[in-house]
Amino acid sequence: MLLLIRFNGVKFLQEMRDKTIMFVGDSLGRNQWESLICMISSSAPSINTHIIHEDPLSTFMILDYNVKVSFYRAPYLVDIDKIHGKTTLKLDEISVDASNSWRTADVLLFNTGHWWSHTGSLRGWEQMETGGKYYGDMDRLVALRKGLRTWSSWVLRYINSPLTRVFFLSVSPTHYNPNEWTSRSKASTITQGAKSCYGQTTPFSGTSYPTSSYVNQKKVIDDVVKEMKSHVSLMDITMLSALRVDGHPSIYSGDLNPSLKRNPDRSSDCSHWCLPGLPDTWNQLFYAALLY
């Protein structure tokens, strides 16, 4: 049986003294950043701290150890900017600001995924740019691979791997589609008739993993990270997270008005995770990989 090493906040701070740990990515990366802050604060409660919330970079400082735990918001990792009046996802570029900020870190943990598949009003860009050409859209997996190859080239060019540790968090699954788990209902404890994660109170308990709508994105990430060989450590949390249909904020994130709460099947947050909760497990894995 594989046992997780218990998180020790004091040991973590001692090992990370005078260092910067930076999470880079989307709101799932922020979810994990917030989790680590809580874990440190509860495990080492007497520390003096200060936090700065800015966009794109927010930093939690543990003053007694001169440790910084930062989050840099970059949901695509590659640059996004206005070109000819259009919001443009630049698949071949990392922004100068991002590059300069990331290079200050001693430990980097990247993630991306969800934003690459958004459509309609949720789509964060109006056009894509690659190879000097502009596209209204393209196969999203092709775009993701291009963007990740730009990111991997940046890592290989700028990061001295013996001195800087680099991790990549695999795609965090969502639980909006009940077809991903109800097909195995006889082997699980999932609430029957569910239309989202709302009302789910127990993890999936079947004999096989539920499917994930992000399985193809995961394969792209796996392929690109493997091409980098020893430069980046992949933290594969996709399948273990897929079991936690019960772990989302649902309608209890604090962001919904009473009207939206009355329609949980349409307004539930089945993407992010409750804290304390699953991101704490991600950070236990991160802690073990970093220190042991």
Residues with catalytic function: 27, 269, 272
CB atoms within 10 A of CB 220: 22
Eight-class DSSP state of 172? P
Q: Are 29 and 71 in contact (CB under 8 A)?
A: yes
Instruction: Please state the φ and ψ torsions of residue 209, each to the nearest 5 degrees.
Output: -70, 145
Task: Report how far residue 86's alpha carbon sits from residue 101's, in angstroms, rounded to the nearest whole number.
Answer: 26
Closest-CA residue to 77 (of 134, 143, 126) = 143
DSSP string, 196-245: SSTT--S----SSPPP-TTHHHHHHHHHHHHHTGGG-EEE--HHHHHT-T
Q: Are 130 and 146 in contact (CB under 8 A)?
A: yes
R_g of the chain, CA atoms, integer Å: 19
Task: Report how far residue 96's alpha carbon sits from residue 79's, in angstroms, rounded to the nearest whole number.
Answer: 9
